[in-house]
Amino acid sequence: MKYITQHSHGLSKNQKWVIASTSSGFALENMDVLFLSFAMSSMIADLHLSGGAAGLISSITNLGMLVGGICFDILGDKIGRFKTFSHTVLIFALATGLMAFANNIYEIYALRFLAGIGAGGEYGVGIALIAENFESGRIGKMTSIAALIAAWIRLCW
């Protein structure tokens, strides 16, 4: 495996981009979960959803994350992680944006599944990007830093 070397004790330009892009992606996914929880009461009232139907939205999202994690991790090995990461962000962004136009629970389920596919792929490929761009002794630290940056971004917005 090829690691990008760092300049003295700082990070290389590529390493900074990896941390910035993965942190931003993780933050947007976390914000999506937060926004969905805020919108849930309106969705329940507007669409006359039962508690079970509303709860299934999160379950379907998680199933999509499982599918996305498996599929995009395999795809990342074949076509490259940077390209795959971009695809996952696009799928997630489109599915999340189209939620504004969903008129029934079935459209919501389909879009949340697609958003889950994008999110699951993004998490897996993002962590793999960090792992292949940092030395083994720094991977845990860098994934923690990415998570902290993501939390900070979410709090600031």
- Spatial distance between the Cα atoms of 27 and 154, rounded to a whole number of angstroms: 6
Residue 6 DSSP class: P
Does residue 115 belong to any structural domain of this protein?
yes
pLDDT score recorded for residue 125: 94
pLDDT at 68: 96
Give the pLDDT score at 7.
45
User: Does residue 76 form part of some domain?
Assistant: yes
Residue 23 lies in a domain: no
Q: Is residue 110 part of a domain?
A: yes
Judge whether 134 and 140 are in contact, CB under 8 Å.
no
| Residue 41 domain-assigned (yes or no) | no
- Within-domain flag for 22: no
Let me know the angle formed at the C-alpha of 101 by 84 and 44, rounded to the nearest 5 degrees: 105
Q: What is the pLDDT of residue 123?
A: 92
Look up residue 143 and give its DSSP letter: H
Residue 26 domain flag: no
Neighbours of 107 (CB within 10 A): 13
Residue 89 tokens read as 């962000």
Residue 12 falls within a domain, yes or no?
A: no
Say how many domains are in the chain. Answer: 1
Query: Nearest 10 degrees: CA dihedral of 108, 121, 35, 148?
Result: 170
* Domain region containing 122: 51-156
Residue 130: per-residue pLDDT: 92
Per-residue pLDDT tens listing for the chain (157 residues): 454 444 446 889 999 999 999 998 888 888 888 888 899 999 999 999 999 999 999 999 999 999 999 999 999 999 999 999 999 999 999 999 999 999 999 999 999 999 999 999 999 999 999 999 999 889 889 989 888 888 888 787 6
Instruction: Look at residue 91 in the predicted model and tell me its pLDDT.
Output: 97
